[in-house]
Structure 1
Amino acid sequence: MPELPEVEGVVRELSPVSIGRTISEVRVSEVVQKSKEVGKEAIVKGKTLEDFKEELAAMTIVDVTRRSKYIYFHLEKAGLPYLLVSHLGMTGAWFVVDSLEEVTEQKFKNHMHVIFKMDDGGMLVYSDIRRFGELRLLQAEEDYLPLLKMAPEPFEAGAVEHFLAMAATPKYARKPIKEVVMDGHVISGCGNIYATEALFRMNIHPGRATERISEKRKRELFREIVDVLQESIDAGGSSISDYRNINGEAGTMQTRLKMYGKKVCGTCGKETKSMKIAGRTSVYCPQCQR
């Protein structure tokens, strides 16, 4: 699943080619339409397809920002603000093209589920292979409560204090540290990849109970998380499995990862082990991480 650095990369690429453009028409795939017909919500959430398409028509994109793992399209129509929230799920990708033929990677070409036609003739295309992503049109962030419950951005002042306070609560204190740092209510945007890397750099076992780690070590761990997130942003994110930046471009952080997906520890040479934590496979070195 794309994490904070990957989403940040998408936003940085989308912003200059999206801002100032006006949506003339929205089209959705037959797959999405059939999902709605049987009472499910594939990709388009919280509205009927008719309302989604009608309301977005004539909206202008005034900004594109990131909040945790979400992309925020700030829109305006008839002088009123709106917010289109996009989550990439496992395999979501955005394409900014003049023709659908410009989407050349077949697996994305086969799964173009929402097409925003712009009044200048171009298109903004959302493709999603597994359809776990979402598009949600709101008037404001406050209209969808889960968005307000996210932890502060890890780069913001006060984020470490929020992490320490949450980690000390009964809800989190006895949980494995890996599960805690992956929780978006505790730290925004840190998922399996970067939690794995930060814990390895700190020589902390992913299954260690959070309460068994000193405050000093927790502060150091938080700084390590911030550092690895920033390193990945600078590298364009980790292109693992189906993640792409806009128009199919890949990042390079995957070449720098020291523990995620590794069979052998690059530090001590010992074979790595794995365990399930919060439903995710956690790879670690039994020699270096205790």
Structure 2
Amino acid sequence: MPELPEVEGVVRALAPAASGRTIRRVAISDTVIRSKEAGKEAIVKGLSVDEFARQLAGCTIDRIERRSKYIYIHLLKEGDCLLLVSHLGMTGAWFAVSGIEDIHEQKFRNHIHAVFEMEDGGLLVYSDIRRFGELRLLGCAEDYPPLGQMAPEPFDDGAEEYFLAKAGSAAYSKKPIKEVIMDGRVISGCGNIYATEALFRTRIHPKRAAGRVSAARKLQLFREIVDVLQESIRAGGSSISDYRNINGEAGTMQDRLRMYGRKTCPACGSETASVQIAGRTSTYCKKCQH
């Protein structure tokens, strides 16, 4: 699943390619339409497909930013503001192209679910192989309460103090520290990949209860999370599975990961182990992490 660095990479490429452009019309895939007709909420959330497309037609993209693992596309229409919120799920990808044929990988062309035709003739395309992503059109972020529950950005002033207070609270004391740092209400944008890396860097066992991690080690852990997120942003994110930026380019952080997906520990050379935590596979070293 794309985490903060991967979403940041998409936003940095999408913003200059899309800002200032006006949407002529939106076409939604038959797969999504059939899903909605069956009472499911595949990709287009909260609105019918027709209403989603109707409201977006004529909108101008004002600016695009990232909030945690979400893409916020700020829109203007006849003096009103709208917000298109995009979550990439497991395999979501955006493309800014002249035509569908410019999307080079067949797997993305096979799973296009939203095509935004622009007034200038170009396209913004959302593809999602597994359809776990979402497109949600709102008046503002406050219209969807879960967005208001997200922790501060990890790079913001006050995020460190917020993290220490949340992670040190009774509500999280018995939970595995790995589960705690993947909780977006505690720290924004840290998923399985970078939680695994930060825990290895601090030599903390992923199943250790948060209440048994000292405040000093929690502080070290927070700072390692920030460092590994920043390192990954510089590397263009981790293209472990289906992550691509809007140009179809892969990141390189996967080549720098020391524990995630590794069979042997780079520190001691012993075989790594794995355990399921919060539904995710956590790789760790039994000798180095306690």
SS at match of 1:248: coil
Give the aligned length.
Answer: 290
The aligned residue for residue 145 of structure 1 is 145
Shift of 1:52: 0.3
1:229 and 2:229 correspond: yes
The aligned residue for residue 50 of structure 1 is 50
Q: Is the 8 A contact 2:260 2:283 kept in 1?
A: yes
SS at match of 1:94: strand
Shift of 1:219: 0.6
The aligned residue for residue 78 of structure 1 is 78
Structure 2 Cα separation of the partners of residues 9 and 30 of structure 1: 29
Structure 2 Cα separation of the partners of residues 225 and 167 of structure 1: 14
Structure 2 Cα separation of the partners of residues 247 and 110 of structure 1: 17
Q: Deviations over 1:254-276 (max 9, x none)?
A: 00000000000011000000001
The aligned residue for residue 69 of structure 1 is 69
1:247-258 map, 5 Å: 247-258=247-258
Structure 2 Cα separation of the partners of residues 245 and 263 of structure 1: 28
Shift of 1:204: 0.6
The aligned residue for residue 183 of structure 1 is 183
The aligned residue for residue 9 of structure 1 is 9
The aligned residue for residue 31 of structure 2 is 31
The aligned residue for residue 284 of structure 1 is 284
Shift of 1:163: 1.1
Q: Is the 8 A contact 2:168 2:215 kept in 1?
A: no
The aligned residue for residue 164 of structure 1 is 164
The aligned residue for residue 194 of structure 1 is 194
Shift of 1:120: 0.3
**Letter of the 1:12 counterpart:** R
Shift of 1:198: 0.4
Shift of 1:213: 1.0
RMSD of aligned Cα (Å) = 0.6
Q: Which runs of 4+ in 1 moved over 2 A?
A: none
Among the aligned pairs, what percent are the same residue? 68
**Letter of the 2:239 counterpart:** S
TM-score, with length taken from structure 2: 0.99
Structure 2 Cα separation of the partners of residues 223 and 104 of structure 1: 38
Q: Deviations over 1:80-99 (max 9, x none)?
A: 11100000000000000011
Unaligned runs of 5+ in 1: none
Shift of 1:167: 1.4
The aligned residue for residue 268 of structure 1 is 268
Q: Deviations over 1:46-82 (max 9, x none)?
A: 0011110000000000100000000000000001111
The aligned residue for residue 245 of structure 1 is 245
TM-score, with length taken from structure 1: 0.99
Shift of 1:170: 2.2
SS at match of 1:246: coil
Shift of 1:247: 2.7
Structure 2 Cα separation of the partners of residues 249 and 60 of structure 1: 26
SS at match of 1:73: strand
